[in-house]
Amino acid sequence: MNSLELGIIGNSGIGALISGAGEIVWACLPRFDGDAVFCSLLRSRKTEKDFGFLAVDLIGRVRSEQEYVANTAVLVTRLYDGEGGAIEITDFAPRFRQFGRLFCPAQIVRTVRPLAGSPRVRVLIRPASEYGRRRPQTTWGSNHVRYAGADFVFRVTADLSITALVEETPFVLRDAFSLVLGPDETLQGPVAELARRFLELTVDYWHDWVRDLSIPFEWQNEIIRAAITLKLAAYDDSGAVVAALTSSIPEAAASGRNWDYRFCWLRDAYFVVDALNRLNATRTMERYLGYIINVAAGADGALQPVYRVSGKPDLEERTQGALPGYRGMGPVRTGNQAYRQTQNDVYGSVVLAATHAFFDRRLSATGSPALFRQLEALGERAVAVHAQPDAGIWERRGAAHVHTFSSVMCWVACDRLAKIAARLGLGARAQHWGMQADRINAVIAARAWNAKRSSFVASFDGEALDASLLLLAELGFLRADDPRFAGTVAAVERDLRRGDFVFRYAEADDFGKPVNAFIVCTFWYINALAALGRRDEARALFEAMLARRTRLGLLSEHIDPSSGELWGNFPQTYSMVGMIKCATRLSIPWHQAF
C-alpha cells in the first residue's frame, strides 16, 4: 500500500492534503509557499502531545473510505467504528464566482455528519507555526478559536461546543457540524448555512469548469481528475504554477533527495499550462503568460529556472530541524537552491509558452510586436548559451556539462521566434531567427549525436543517455520518422528502461545511483512509442501506469520499480501532465467511438 494515499483539496490559492482517516496532514497558509500550518505529513502523530494537524477522530475506528464528489475538488471521507457507528467528513476550499469576480479565499471548510449508529468523535485542531517549531498562541470566543502564528493569524469558526473544541473532549455525534478555517475575520451568518452555500457554489463551479473541457473519448475520468489537480496547482493571484504542493517527500527511501517543490519552475509550468490549454482550459495559460512576462521583464535577460509564486527570485534553501521528515526521513528543506543554478533550457520554455499568444485565437491577450521584441532578448540569450555547460533539466548539483536537452530548448527558442516573426509579417526577423535555429541545430547534430550508439546522447561529446531525449520529436527538433529518433528511443529502451518504467538517467549523481523511476519519463516513452507507430505497446504500458495511481487517481514524482510504491513530492504536476498527454494521444477519436 502506498503511504501517499492522500486526497488534495484546494482553490488555486491554497491547498491541503488529507489522509484516508480524514486528517489534514499538510496545508500551507496563506498560500502554497507559506508556513506549514498542518505538517503531520512530515512529523506523524505518535503521542498525545504531537501537533501540526487537524483531525476528527472516530473512537474505535476500524475502516475508512474516501472519494471525490464527481468532477470536483470536493473530498468525502467516511469513517466506520466497530459498533455500527459511522461519520462522513466533507472537505473543500471555496471557489466560485461572486459579485462579478472569482471568490477563492484562504479557507478550508469541513462538515462532519453522522451516518449510522452512535459514533463518538474527538475534534483535534492543533496547528503549527514556524514549520513545526511551536504551537501558535490560542484564544477563543463564543463560536471561534483564534490561532496566532508567526506569519499568519487565522481562526476556526464552528457550530459545535467551543469547550469541546478547545479541550478536545470526546462527544457523541448526533447532529452535523461545520468548521470554517480561514483568515482572522468574523463570518457573517450561521456557520452551517455558510458551509452549505459555499459547498453548493463550489460544486457548481467545478462542474461548469469540467463541462467546458475538451477531452478524448477514452480515459475520461482519469483526464478529468488530472486536469482538476493541475488547476489546483496554479496560483490564480499571480499566474504561477507550482511543481507540487509539498516539500521534502524523498525521491527514494532515506536518499536525502528531499526538495521543496512549492515554487514555479518555468520548464514544468509550461508543460502544465500547455496540457490544460489543449483541454480547452485556456485561462490558466493566459494568467501564466502574464506571470512569465513579468518575470522576464525583471530578469535583465538572464532567467532563473525557478521563482516564487509571487515572481520574486530569492529561494534560499534552509533546513527545518523541528520536522523529522516523511516517515522520519529528513532533512526537511524549505526554499530551493536550484534558483542559483544555470539551466539554459529555460529560455526555450518561456518562448514556447509565449508562442501560444501569437497563434491561439482563443486567448484574450494576443501577442504583439512589443512582446515579440521582449522575447527576442531571451532568444539572443539562448543563442549565446546554447553550447555552454549548465546543470541541465535534472538539476545536477555536481559538475556541469553541455546538456543536449538544454541546447535543444535553445534551438526551440530560435525556431519559435522565427515562426512568430513570420506570423507578424516581419520577414527579416524571421530569416534571422531561422538562421540561428539552423546554426544551433547543426551544432547539436555534430556534438550530441553518437554514431557508435546510433543515438543522441545526454551531453555533448558524451556516451550516457537521459530520458529527456525522448522529447526530441515532440519539440519538433526531429521528425518522428527520422531514423535518428527511432535510434534514440531504442537506446533509451536499452539503457534506462527497467520493467514498466523508464529512469531519467542511470549513472550515479551527487547522491548515488537513482533507485526509483521518475514517473513522467515513462509517459514520455509511451508518447515516443506512439509517435513511432507502436501504439499497441504504448496502450499496454499506459494502462499499466494508470494502475499505479493512488485510489483517488493521483501520482507523485517517483515510483519504486519493484514494489510500485510512490515517492517524491505530491501530487506532482509533471506526472499528471504526462498522463493527460498520453491519454489524449492514445484515445480513439470521438467519431470512431460509436
Tell me the per-residue pLDDT of 370-396, one tens digit each, with 9 for 90 and over: 999 999 999 999 999 999 999 999 988
Residue 552, C-alpha cell as written in the block: 483517488
Task: Compute the mean pLDDT over every residue in the chain, rounded to the nearest whole number.
Answer: 96
pLDDT value at residue 251: 97
Average pLDDT score over residue span 328-347: 97
Closest CA to 354 of 365, 339, 341, 362: 365
Please indicate, yes or no, whether residues 147 and 293 belong to a single structural domain of this protein: no
Is the model's pLDDT at 53 over the cut of 70? yes
Please indicate, yes or no, whether residues 333 and 472 belong to a single structural domain of this protein: yes
Is the model's pLDDT at 259 over the cut of 80? yes
Please indicate, yes or no, whether residues 185 and 248 belong to a single structural domain of this protein: no
What's the pLDDT band for 470 if we cut at 50, 70, 90? very high
Please indicate, yes or no, whether residues 300 and 199 belong to a single structural domain of this protein: no
Please indicate, yes or no, whether residues 150 and 204 belong to a single structural domain of this protein: yes
Please indicate, yes or no, whether residues 280 and 174 belong to a single structural domain of this protein: no
Average pLDDT score over residue span 129-151: 95
Please indicate, yes or no, whether residues 169 and 147 belong to a single structural domain of this protein: yes
What's the pLDDT band for 169 if we cut at 50, 70, 90? very high
Residue that is last in its domain, among 209, 238, 257:
209
pLDDT value at residue 193: 97
pLDDT value at residue 487: 98
CA atoms of 86 and 64, how far apart (whole Å): 9
Question: Is the residue at 67 inside a domain?
Answer: yes
* pLDDT tens-digit series, residues 198-217: 999 999 999 999 999 999 99
Please indicate, yes or no, whether residues 168 and 258 belong to a single structural domain of this protein: no
Q: How far is CA 21 from CA 4, 65, 172, in A?
A: 13, 8, 18
Cβ atoms of 381 and 417 within 8 Å: the answer is no
Beta-sheet strands, E only, within 159-313: 171-172, 177-183, 264-265, 306-307
Average pLDDT score over residue span 283-295: 93
Please indicate, yes or no, whether residues 333 and 480 belong to a single structural domain of this protein: yes
Q: What is the DSSP string of 501-546?
A: EE-S--S-BTTBS--SEEHHHHHHHHHHHHHTT-HHHHHHHHHHHH
Give the domain extent around 359. 212-588
Q: What sign results for the dihedral spanned by CA atoms 44, 45, 51, 53?
A: positive
pLDDT value at residue 299: 79
CA atoms of 412 and 291, how far apart (whole Å): 20
CA atoms of 132 and 142, how far apart (whole Å): 28
Closest CA to 12 of 214, 290, 283, 271: 283
Residue 98, C-beta contacts closer than 8 angstroms, at least 6 positions apart? 201
Question: Is the residue at 406 inside a domain?
Answer: yes
Average pLDDT score over residue span 415-427: 97
Within 13 Å of residue 506, how many CA atoms lie on the same side as its CB? Answer: 14
Alpha carbon 384 to chain centroid, angstroms:
31
Please indicate, yes or no, whether residues 426 and 281 belong to a single structural domain of this protein: yes
User: Percentage of residues in the chain with pLDDT exceeding 70?
Assistant: 99
Could you tell me which residue, 501 or 511, shows the higher pLDDT? 501
What's the pLDDT band for 510 if we cut at 50, 70, 90? confident
pLDDT value at residue 300: 75
Question: Is the residue at 374 inside a domain?
Answer: yes
pLDDT value at residue 100: 87
List phi, psi (to 5°) of 371: -65, -40
pLDDT value at residue 585: 96
> What does the longest C-alpha to C-alpha distance in the chain come to?
79
Please indicate, yes or no, whether residues 128 and 248 belong to a single structural domain of this protein: no
Average pLDDT score over residue span 80-87: 97
Is the model's pLDDT at 405 over the cut of 80? yes
Q: Which residues pair with 338 in a beta bridge?
A: none
Is the model's pLDDT at 98 over the cut of 80? yes
pLDDT value at residue 141: 93
Average pLDDT score over residue span 410-433: 98
Average pLDDT score over residue span 68-96: 98
Question: Is the residue at 97 inside a domain?
Answer: yes
Residue that is last in its domain, among 164, 179, 209:
209
List phi, psi (to 5°) of 189: 90, 175
CA atoms of 384 and 382, how far apart (whole Å): 5
Query: Could you give the residue ranges of the DSSP H alpha helices within 244-368?
Result: 266-278, 282-297, 346-359
pLDDT value at residue 164: 95
pLDDT value at residue 367: 87
Other beta carbons less than 10 A from residue 399's beta carbon: 8
Closest CA to 273 of 287, 285, 283: 285
Residue 177, C-alpha cell as written in the block: 457540524
Cβ atoms of 399 and 390 within 8 Å: the answer is no
* pLDDT tens-digit series, residues 560-576: 999 999 999 999 999 99
Is the model's pLDDT at 1 over the cut of 60? no
Question: Is the residue at 1 inside a domain?
Answer: no
Residue that is last in its domain, among 209, 242, 268:
209
Cβ atoms of 336 and 312 within 8 Å: the answer is no
What's the pLDDT band for 366 if we cut at 50, 70, 90? confident
Domain count, the chain: 2
Average pLDDT score over residue span 410-424: 98
Question: Is the residue at 594 inside a domain?
Answer: no
Within 13 Å of residue 297, how many CA atoms lie on the same side as its CB? Answer: 10
* pLDDT tens-digit series, residues 19-35: 999 999 999 999 999 99
* pLDDT tens-digit series, residues 124-139: 999 999 999 999 999 9
pLDDT value at residue 275: 95
CATH number, domain with residue 417: 1.50.10.10
Please indicate, yes or no, whether residues 202 and 133 belong to a single structural domain of this protein: yes
Is the model's pLDDT at 397 over the cut of 90? no
pLDDT value at residue 413: 98
* pLDDT tens-digit series, residues 305-333: 999 999 999 999 999 999 999 999 999 99
